[in-house]
Amino acid sequence: MSEYFSNIRIGATTIATGLAITLRHFFNAIHRKGDAGIDDADYFKQVDGLCTLQYPREAVPTPALGRYRLYNDIDDCIGCGQCERACPIECITIETIKTTADDLAACGKTSQGQQKRMWVPVFDIDVAKCMTCGICVSVCPTECLVHTPVSDFSEFDVRNMIYHFGNLSNIEAEAKKKKLAEQQAQAAKEKAAAAAAAAASGTAPAPAAKPPADEAGE
Ligand code: SF4
Ligand code: SF4
């Protein structure tokens, strides 16, 4: 019989303790109304009363070193493809076109002064697949690929989750490809003509001069 009443006492005490905790959080939440302290440095230590944020007016702050949505500053991208090769789930797609000599100035330099030698008509990141592991960011030689603090980028249509950073339109890319192909065909033709002339005169054609270190991308 005494055990029966003991169990009732323990049950009542447990319920009262739970209600007290709930009420404490409830009243603390009222005091917090309108200010969840999201700008406070010790935000994550403030647990009392922090029940529900009024999203999207309030949102959990992103930590300074957090890895969130990717962004590529295409003006600094040299189209090396290292990020694409490093991505473990293949969510980066890059297409490049070699720059012709007369287009180098138009292609421009990175903010660090490195001459760019590739047009990058396609630089797509499927952020719906991206697991924000950061490997692509760590291998980028120009540090143009970065994580941003943007953590909420949901979309109704998953196709909108593919982000395009390319620096040429389709029409421009086709024109660049055509120009490059023409120049390569012309160079091959001249090389063949030089070889034929050398063969006719009985002299070996002079070896092609090694391009300057900068031009060779060294
Ligand atoms: S963060 Fe990771 S998963 Fe996302 S694109 Fe970069 S390498 Fe791929
Ligand atoms: S690693 Fe960096 S520079 Fe190279 S293609 Fe990727 S984003 Fe561009």
The predicted-structure confidence for 23-76, as pLDDT tens digits, reads as follows: 887 777 776 655 555 566 666 666 565 656 677 777 777 777 788 999 999 999
Q: Which ligand is nearest to the CA of 88?
A: 1
Same domain? 22 vs 86: no
Q: Give, using CA atoms, the residue closest to atom 3 of ligand 1.
A: 130
The predicted structure's pLDDT at residue 50: 60
SS3 118: strand
SS3 53: coil
pLDDT tier at 126, thresholds 50, 70, 90? very high
**What are the tens digits of pLDDT across the range 98-115?**
999 999 999 999 999 999
**How far apart are the CA of 153 and the centre of ligand 2, in A?**
23
Instruction: Please give the tally of structural domains in the chain.
Output: 2
Residue 159 resides in a domain: yes
User: Is residue 115 within 8 Å of 165, Cβ to Cβ?
Assistant: no
Q: Indicate the top mutation candidate among 75, 77, 94, 114 to test ligand 2's pocket, ranked by most ligand atoms within 8 A of CB.
A: 77
Quickly list DSSP for 139-198.
H-TT--EEE-S------SSGGGGEEE--SS-HHHHHHHHHHHHHHHHHHHHHHHHHHHHH
Residue 72 DSSP class: E
Residue 218 resides in a domain: no
Q: Indicate the top mutation candidate among 123, 132, 148, 151 to test ligand 1's pocket, ranked by most ligand atoms within 8 A of CB.
A: 132
Q: Does ligand 2 come within 6 angstroms of the Cβ of 168?
A: no
Q: Give, using CA atoms, the residue closest to atom 7 of ligand 1.
A: 87
Q: Residue 30 and residue 50: Cα distance in Å, rounded? A: 10
> Where residue 87 sits, what CATH number does that domain have?
3.30.70.3270
The predicted structure's pLDDT at residue 1: 75
Q: Does ligand 1 come within 6 angstroms of the Cβ of 135?
A: yes
Residue span of the structural domain in which 37 resides: 2-45
Residue 60 resides in a domain: no
Q: Residue 100 and residue 103: Cα distance in Å, rounded? A: 5
Residue 132 resides in a domain: yes
Atom of ligand 1 nearest to the CA of 125: 5
Question: Rounded to the nearest 5 degrees, what angle is found at the Cα of 9, between the Cα atoms of 4 and 15?
Answer: 125
Residue 149 resides in a domain: yes
Same domain? 7 vs 81: no
**How far apart are the CA of 145 and the centre of ligand 1, in A?**
10
Q: Give, using CA atoms, the residue closest to atom 6 of ligand 2.
A: 83
The predicted structure's pLDDT at residue 185: 95
Residue 208 resides in a domain: no
Residue 6 resides in a domain: yes
Same domain? 40 vs 86: no
Residue 182 resides in a domain: no
The predicted structure's pLDDT at residue 179: 95
Q: Does ligand 1 come within 6 angstroms of the Cβ of 193?
A: no
Kindly tell me if the per-residue pLDDT of 193 is higher than 90.
yes
Q: Which residues lie closer than 8 Å to 136 by C-beta, 6 or more apart? A: 70, 82, 83, 84, 86, 87, 92, 145
